[in-house]
Structure 1
Amino acid sequence: MNNSQLHKGDILIVDDTLDNLRLLSNILTEQGYEVRGVTNGSMALMGATAQPPDLILLDINMPGLNGYEVCQQLKANAQTSEIPVIFLSALTEAFDKVKAFSVGGVDYITKPFQLEEVFARVETQLTSRRLREQLQLQNSRLQLAEKELLKALEQERELNQRIQEMTAVEERNRIARDIHDSLGHSLVALNIQIEAALALWHEDLDKAHAFVLEAKQLGSETLKAVRESVTLIRSEPLQGHSLERAIASLTDEFHRLTGVKPECHIDVTPNLPDSINTAIYRILQEGLTNICKYAQASAVQIQLQSTASGVFLMLQDNGKGFQVERNTKGFGLRGMQERVTALNGQLEIVSEPNTGCLIAAKFPTIAD
């Protein structure tokens, strides 16, 4: 007997005939099984409960508790209910196969024993038990993995929620800062117009009146800009829509206001992070607003594309253009730069007077 044959399974044999008990014990022990033997049903129940075996060979006809009754009690006990039971019965004895299987037996062996049959039936049931135990273990691991996955998904959902909340706060702070900058500039210009009107009030009423009209126009434009900015703060950028649909709404509004229909080329994956979607939308929103207000463009092109290295955005017009180095704080350029920088992206703005403007932004596919 070699080491590979050792400890192949723990078998409990229950038979009131000592010759049968010794015979089975000897042949199974020689095959590497650990074998215990008892001569009655009561001892079988106690032994199986104290140290549950991997398999029970159970004689049918015994004094006291017979094999059927012992099997019923084994199956009624949660501690022993999973142990497979093979019934032992002589060819000359009455053996009710239907009853044997109905009380929980899985197989039967007839006496006198045929060694090959005994080994085959025993190993079949032990292999089946090992497979069930492995399956139960795998199921337990899968259930544990599922719980861990659900926990990780919940943590990811909470993290994404916090990131979205932080992104929203940063967006509101950025817009509020833009309001402060633009409002301060407008109020300074408004104050200059009013001071000029007061200075000329008694000397040149017509000029004073013209300054007042300019001040009124500045006030109206400032109020409109503040209202638009406050609306931006209050609203969600995409309002639950896809990025492509949100961009379509922007271009439709731009077309309605200017009569110019932007040419769009959009090819992006649908699962971009919300932070990138928001940044792209805001950059296009600010860029189209600037074109509408200042550029006097007759053609506008938008290109948005996912690549292996990230997401590329381009907004280009053929309008008046401007000196970029002289307008680092105007036209929402600082807000664009902050949005791109926050996502570890790159922003390039190319413009000269009378040559239009090109805004190009690149974002990594996964924002850090």
Structure 2
Amino acid sequence: MTNTVYSSGLQINSSQSKGDILIVDDQPDNLRLLSGLLSDRGYDVRAVMSGSAALMGAKAQPPDLILLDINMPGMDGYNVCQHLKANPLTGDIPVIFISALNEVLDKVKAFEVGGVDYITKPFQEEEVFARIQTQLSLRQMQRILQAQNDHLQQTQAELRRLLIQEQELNGRIEKMSALEERNRIARDIHDSLGHSLVALNIQMETALTLWKDAPQKAYEFLVEAKQLGSQALNAVRQSVTDMRADPLQGELLEVAIATLTHEFHYTTGIAPECHIEMSLPFSNSVNTAVYRIVQEGLTNICKHAEATIVHLQIQTTPTELSLTLQDNGRGFCINGNQTGFGLQGMRERVLALAGQLEITSELGNGCKITAKFPRMTV
């Protein structure tokens, strides 16, 4: 059942509305005619008889569309439309002007003040519905586009926020990794330099003891002491260089690893079998840790393993980077080597990046190093 109320305004409600339409006309007969036609077609209709009432109604409850008569006393349709478009609350409401055939319709002015279309009296029903539905459809599409644009902007803002958080997190990780690397190198300097200095001191004391009775022997001990001193100095210089420099030097991890394996091949005559798949990028801190582990691992193999075969595999997935370095050398008792051969440094690097490290080795059965680094997320 449709309820119709006429006074300073007209309200018509429908159970299934196709849209909310505000009709503005100073002629009651026109209001009744248009209201009846539109309500029968399922539109919600509000009707007012003056421009001031139209402005108040549109502000209080913005309609989906306004049908606006041009010739009205006090405030004509052009003036009403200008006020509507000047208000942010009502500026995007489409306005269709109404004009009688015997009235002068200034079409240019109608569009200049913000009108989107016009209808002439007497009304042709199908034309009225077609023009109204066209504007309502455009209005609905504009709302959908606006909602999608708002959602897109919110998504972009959220992505920017997450990106900033990720950059800040990566920055903190880089600083922590750099600090851990410096601490590790400092410990290495302390350990290696301490050992060299002890040996150097023994050589010097022995040389002093033999200086009078066996000068030739003393000289030999002094030569060894000189060599130990040079080795210690070179070790310190190399450690300081490592502490100051980026080991990757701006190169891709694959390129830096290739350089390591070439140097290893040149030194040992062993060409490592490499399988490297780095299709997914990881942070520089992870790449640096991987490089250092491979570097230390190859160094240990070169110095201690007496291996003939070396396998290296690096692979990335959406969730982690995995590294495996294995040799067929003489191996060692893992329980008795928790800190030696750079193993402690490897553990520290992996743990600093929330990774996992597994080292398996037995005497006579080589050594296998497996490290996994998770992809850091915010």
**What is the one-letter code of the residue matched to 1:290?**
N
Cα 1:309/1:47, change in 2 over 3 Å: closer
What does residue 323 of structure 2 align with?
313
Q: SS of 1:266's equivalent?
A: strand
Are the counterparts in 2 of residues 8 and 34 from structure 1 also a CA contact under 8 Å? Answer: no
Compute the displacement of 1:281 (Å): 0.6
1:207 aligns with 2:217: yes
Compute the displacement of 1:59 (Å): 1.8
CA distance in 1, matches of 2:176, 2:80: 67
Q: SS of 2:159's equivalent?
A: helix
What does residue 189 of structure 1 align with?
199
Q: 1:281 aligns with which of 284, 287, 291?
A: 291
C-alpha distance after superposition, 1:62-111 (max 9, x if no partner): 34544344334433444432221112223344434444334322222232
Compute the displacement of 1:155 (Å): 1.1
TM-score (norm 2): 0.82
CA distance in 2, matches of 1:329, 1:63: 97
Compute the displacement of 1:289 (Å): 2.9
CA distance in 2, matches of 1:101, 1:310: 61
Compute the displacement of 1:183 (Å): 1.6
Percentage identity across aligned positions?
A: 59
What does residue 108 of structure 1 align with?
118
C-alpha distance after superposition, 1:116-142 (max 9, x if no partner): 443443343334323323322332232
Compute the displacement of 1:233 (Å): 1.0
**What is the one-letter code of the residue matched to 2:84?**
L
**What is the one-letter code of the residue matched to 1:86?**
I
Compute the displacement of 1:263 (Å): 4.2
Cα 1:45/1:303, change in 2 over 3 Å: closer
Q: How is 1:249-268 mapped onto 2 (pairs within 5 angstroms)?
A: 249-255=259-265, 257=267, 261-268=271-278
Per mean C-alpha deviation after superposition, the further-off stretch among 320-329 and 61-70 is 320-329
How many residues align? The count is 365
CA distance in 2, matches of 1:323, 1:225: 27
1:243 aligns with 2:243: no
**What is the one-letter code of the residue matched to 2:46?**
V
Cα 1:29/1:298, change in 2 over 3 Å: closer
Compute the displacement of 1:226 (Å): 1.6
1:37 aligns with 2:48: yes
How large is the Cα RMSD of the aligned pairs? 3.2
Per mean C-alpha deviation after superposition, the further-off stretch among 6-15 and 174-183 is 6-15
Are the counterparts in 2 of residues 344 and 367 from structure 1 also a CA contact under 8 Å? Answer: no
**What is the one-letter code of the residue matched to 1:363?**
K
Question: Deviating runs (4+, > 6 A) in structure 1?
Answer: none
**What is the one-letter code of the residue matched to 2:44?**
Y
Q: SS of 2:232's equivalent?
A: helix
Cα 1:347/1:257, change in 2 over 3 Å: same
Compute the displacement of 1:165 (Å): 0.7
CA distance in 2, matches of 1:66, 1:367: 65
Q: How is 1:40-189 mapped onto 2 (pairs within 5 angstroms)?
A: 40-45=50-55, 47-49=57-59, 51-189=61-199
CA distance in 1, matches of 2:350, 2:56: 74
CA distance in 2, matches of 1:190, 1:323: 30
1:362 aligns with 2:364: no
CA distance in 2, matches of 1:341, 1:155: 22
CA distance in 2, matches of 1:192, 1:325: 31
Q: SS of 1:278's equivalent?
A: helix
Cα 1:299/1:32, change in 2 over 3 Å: closer
CA distance in 1, matches of 2:98, 2:330: 101
**What is the one-letter code of the residue matched to 2:346?**
M
Are the counterparts in 1 of residues 286 and 373 from structure 2 also a CA contact under 8 Å? Answer: no
**What is the one-letter code of the residue matched to 1:56?**
I
Are the counterparts in 2 of residues 312 and 360 from structure 1 also a CA contact under 8 Å? Answer: no
Compute the displacement of 1:255 (Å): 4.6
Cα 1:330/1:45, change in 2 over 3 Å: closer
Which runs of 5 or more structure 2 residues have no equivalent in the other structure? 3-12
Compute the displacement of 1:191 (Å): 2.1
TM-score (norm 1): 0.84
What does residue 357 of structure 2 align with?
346
Per mean C-alpha deviation after superposition, the further-off stretch among 158-167 and 28-37 is 28-37
